[in-house]
Amino acid sequence: MNKDIATPVRTKQILEKYGFSFKKSLGQNFLIDTNILHRIVDHANITSQTGVIEVGPGIGALTEQVAKRAKKVVAFEIDQRLLPILKDTLQPYPHVKVIHQDVLKADLKEVIAEEFKDCKEIMVVANLPYYVTTPIVMRFLEEKLPIKGIVVMLQKEVADRISASPSTKDYGSLSIAVQFYTEAKTVMTVPKTVFVPQPNVDSAVIRLSLREDPAVKVENDEFFFQLVRASFAQRRKTILNNLVNNLPNGKQQKEVIEHALEQVEIDSKRRGESLSIKEFAMLSDSLYKRFEA
């Protein structure tokens, strides 16, 4: 029986065996608590028919727990120094494939078509490096990949922003972007003490269940997201101020913006953070028809 990787003793042994030193620039923090890994995998509802994509496997602590339940695991690792370690630690799991590539540059559609032919469903499960959390999550969502859901550990602060509701301090364009595609729920918080090296902040695990259709139907997705970003550009300003100052040609089209707000009955003095995703959708459609970028 193989000893779990995610214990303080085994992790230390592996790191010493390979003389591995952590690279701060890659946001490397390895988990040393098997119970937490089991809970992450539980939240992902992995079965023997599930294919799993992992990002940043490190020395294979989470990969190993996922591999015990999944049909196939494909892990993207950017740090070449970890490849021989993973080859060693994941030897008992022939259905795990490690790809030495930046997941942000990979052709994910091709990887999925090639690697998960025999899987009924695909999940993304990962302990994400803090510095690239948002681009990675958005890449999986915006590419409209055939995945069922995403269960990832990330900085608690980012998890709070992703799952936030309107009129809270954490609610912003990231909340709307993720909730447009998924139902988001923070399922557990993770103290910084269960990592080596210890990060400066606590983490959280978030579960994103992909929606069959986006949360709202809009005439033009791109314009919708542009409008949302502009609405939060300066949090203390009103929605009207933000749109006038941050939409391209907004200053020239102040009257058009005022008219659109009026038409959908949104008070121009409200702040972006008080608008629901539905209100943003109505405003976006009302403005899109008349707005000249």
Question: Cα separations (Å) of 275 from 239, 268, 271, 280?
Answer: 9, 11, 7, 7
How far apart, in whole angstroms, are the C-alpha atoms of residue 38 and residue 43? 9
- Nearest residue to 250 via CA among 287, 275, 289: 287
- Pick from 120, 135, 148, 139: nearest CA to 48: 120
Residues with Cβ within 8 Å of residue 277, at least 6 apart in sequence: 176, 179, 180, 215, 216
Torsion of CA 29, 35, 41, 45, to 10 degrees: -160
Tell me phi and psi for residue 196, to 5 degrees. Answer: -125, 135
2 among annotated binding-site residues: no
Nearest to 123, CA basis, from 132, 135, 112 = 112
31 marked as binding residue: yes
Residue 102, marked binder: yes
- Give 204's strand partners: 154, 189
Cα separation values, 145 from 119, 133, 240, Å: 14, 18, 35
Q: Give the strand order in the sheet containing 203-210.
A: 96-99, 72-76, 50-55, 121-127, 149-155, 203-210, 182-190
Is 213 labelled a binding residue? Answer: no
Question: Does the annotation place 56 within a ligand binding site?
Answer: yes
Token pair 């950017």 in the structure block, residue: 78
Q: Which residues are annotated as a binding site?
A: 29, 31, 56, 77, 102, 127
Q: Which residues are annotated as a binding site for S-adenosyl-L-methionine?
A: 29, 31, 56, 77, 102, 127
